[in-house]
Amino acid sequence: MAGKLNIVGVGPGHHDHMTFGAKEAIAKSDTIVGYETYVNLVHDLIKGKTVYRYAMTQEVERAHQCIELAKSGKIVSLVSSGDPGIYGMAGLIYETLAETGWDPKDGLQVEIVPGVSALNSCASIVGSPLMTDFAVVSMSDLLVPWRVIEKRVKAAAKGDFVIVVYNPASKKRVHQLQDTRKILLDYRKPTTPVAIIKGAFRESETVVMTDLQNLTNHSDELGMTSTIIVGNSSTYTYKDLMINPRGYKSKYNLEEQTNLDLKV
């Protein structure tokens, strides 16, 4: 029997925001593998299945076991929160397979099942902050040198992108976000809107609306389950919502159009 490896994104955590495809892939799998926190997000969907739980720092071991289990004929779902192709396990799986000369056409069957990433879920909570071009940057320098991350932050700031910050801080990583804030203040006003969303769509969810000047004053809300959205020069707030204009006002007279619609 041919095995299969599904790399499944389960979204932010709440089942309402998990895709039908993700639920179906998990249901059809006999084996579940994942970081313990992510496996717990789908605990009610994996009863009766063989489950392998891992610690956060065992990504390579996780990848090798998934591949070996699938090669042995198992239908495996490697689960992760958000989308597995955005700072997730998809890259490591493909890197590992590529090193063995794997052929996607006639080798082990691998399917990525996309999920709702933090940038989508968090944006939906705080309004419409991603209506124009945006950049996504992770503050974690465990795998990427800090000098490279700094270079990317500076480029995004200079380009006036809305910036989504993943992994903003941890107990050991403090200076990264502080340095990022200093870079951004070279290009943006201190009053630039900022949203800090922690544990989006989970019972522990918290949302803080602040600005660039006061970003680092909210250390209690910063951690591995937090996502930060920093507005650009056009972003503004309205009743605790972040709005990033798409540009319709410059093309259409929205007030005039509304009046025409009411007359019709």
Looking at the DSSP bridge assignments, the partners of residue 210 are: 194
Residue from 142, 149, 145, 201 nearest 170 by CA = 142
Q: Are 35 and 41 in contact (CB under 8 A)?
A: no
Query: What is the token pair recorded at 227?
Result: 């996502």
Amino acid found at 103 = D
Query: What is the token pair recorded at 102?
Result: 């794997």
In this predicted model, what pLDDT tens digit does every residue of 188-231 receive, in sequence order? Answer: 999 999 999 999 998 889 999 999 999 989 888 888 889 999 99
Amino acid found at 11 = G
Burial-class residue 27 by CB neighbours within 10 Å (0-12, 13-18, 19+).
Answer: exposed
**Which domains occur in the chain, in start order?**
4-116 (3.40.1010.10), 119-243 (3.30.950.10)
Position 171 scores a pLDDT of: 80
- Is the model's pLDDT at 253 over the cut of 80? no
> What's the whole-model pTM score?
0.89
Q: Are 28 and 111 in contact (CB under 8 A)?
A: no
Query: What is the token pair recorded at 111?
Result: 């399917």
Position 120 scores a pLDDT of: 96
